[in-house]
Amino acid sequence: MRGRVAIVGVAESDEMGKLPHKSAFALHAEAARNALADAGLQKDDVDAVFTAGLWMASEAAEYMGLRPRYIDGTQIGGCSFIAHVEHAMAAIAAGVCEVALITHGESGASRIAMPGTRFGPDSVRLQFEAPFGVAGPPTGYALAAARHMHEFGTTSEQLAEVAVATRKWAALNPRALMRDPLTVEDVLASRMISWPLHLLDCCLVTDAGGAVVVTSAERARDLAKRPVYVLGTGEASTHVMVSQMPDFARWDAARLSGERAFAMAGAGPADVDVAMLYDAFTIVPIMALEALGFCQPGEGGPFVAGQRTAPGGEFPMNTNGGGLSYTHTGMYGIFTLIEAVRQLRGECGARQVPDCRLAICHGLGGMFSAAATLLASTEV
């Protein structure tokens, strides 16, 4: 499958941030319109729609007046959109569809026209986790962070390094929401949300949309921009609820998805020029770096120390400013794809990573429950 499909269009919604005047579906439509324009394609060229988090994936298609022949609503959390690229690749290679629109719109902050929760009082989540006071994602991620610190000696300062480096990238991205400078001391002084995670260890909560257009390598060559070929993909799922996490200090799903993606691409971690690693919380990219083989298990904390992932550092990571400082709607994964494609095309201006040939996108779903990895390049 290596190089069989390419990402040919990427875009965010017109506006990002706090948008009480826009529904989640309006954000889908804006991003889709912009991504198709980026590709030089028309609405009627789309014959496949991929999205996550709706009641039915076809709701997004209906809103946009699309009548896809192939539809995929795979929902494995924030990494769904990265997994959708793999699914689109398989469908395109099988000849079932040709132009896949992967679309995301989420009114994460304003909650305009968002799908409701589906957990009944007899769900396992409400029987075996909620009675103990689980208050949204931070409590779950804190359980992993605490175990990682216990087993490996990872420190709060090392977690804070991720937030600080990511903010430096955000300062270079006009579309990032939070661009003021940040220090390790600021992170440690921010209020405790769920020990060991401070407020500034946690991602933003925003309203935004993002979309990606995928087509065959043949069709891609005739479109508006230089194709970004999909060289490797992998996905994995190990559990859903955090209490079912097999190992709280090691991210199994990320390791499995990464091994699959690197094997398909015929590449290894040392070949990667830029990394977009889902950063819902500062601990997440640290555990991803270990799981994907950029360092050994337990070495993620020392790896990010000394602002190694910041502009000018030897490991450029989350150059858009990440979920921590750019945008995080709730399901951030699509934004890793958008930034990776822009870096590979050389469109990133002040934050452009020089000689950027191989990018990795890595996403998180649920409570370290699922993961998806993608390797891409303008060269096959």
Indicate which residues carry an active-site annotation.
278, 326
Closer residue to another protein (CB): 95 or 133: 133
Question: Which residues contact residue 35 at a Cβ distance below 8 angstroms, ignoring those fewer than 6 apart?
Answer: 9, 10, 11, 101, 103, 211, 212, 213
Of positions 223, 236, 242, 324, contacts another protein by CB under 8 A: 242
Helix axes 80-93, 333-345, angle to 10 degrees: 70
DSSP secondary structure string, 38-103? HHT--GGG--EEE--SSSSTHHHHHHHT---SEEE---BTBTHHHHHHHHHHHHHHTTS-SEEEEE
Annotate each residue in 134-163 with x if it binds another protein (CB under 8 A) or - if it does not, as one string: xx--xx--xxxxxx--x-------------
- Residue 77 Cβ vs another protein, minimum distance, rounded to whole Å: 19
Of positions 21, 44, 67, 195, contacts another protein by CB under 8 A: 195
Closer residue to another protein (CB): 141 or 229: 141
- Longest alpha-carbon distance in the chain: 56
122 binds another protein (CB under 8 A): yes
Of positions 69, 128, 153, 349, contacts another protein by CB under 8 A: 128
- Residue 301 Cβ vs another protein, minimum distance, rounded to whole Å: 16
129 binds another protein (CB under 8 A): yes
Applying CB under 8 A, the span of 67-75, 120-128, 204-212, 276-284 interacting with another protein comes to 120-128
- Please give the distance of CA 374 from its chain centroid, rounded to a whole number: 10
In single-letter form, the type of residue at position 333 comes to: G
192 binds another protein (CB under 8 A): yes
Burial tier of 299 (Cβ tally within 10 Å: 0-12, 13-18, 19+) = middle
127 binds another protein (CB under 8 A): yes
Q: Tell me how far apart the alpha carbons of residues 369 and 251 are, in angstroms, rounded to a whole number.
A: 9
Q: Is 230 helix (H, G, I), strand (E, B) or coil?
A: strand
105 binds another protein (CB under 8 A): no
Closer residue to another protein (CB): 55 or 195: 195
Closer residue to another protein (CB): 243 or 352: 243
Q: Is 362 helix (H, G, I), strand (E, B) or coil?
A: strand
124 binds another protein (CB under 8 A): yes
Residue 281 · residue 201 · CB < 8 Å: yes
**Interface residues toward another protein, by CB under 8 A:** 120-122, 124, 126-135, 138-139, 142-147, 150, 191-197, 241-244, 248
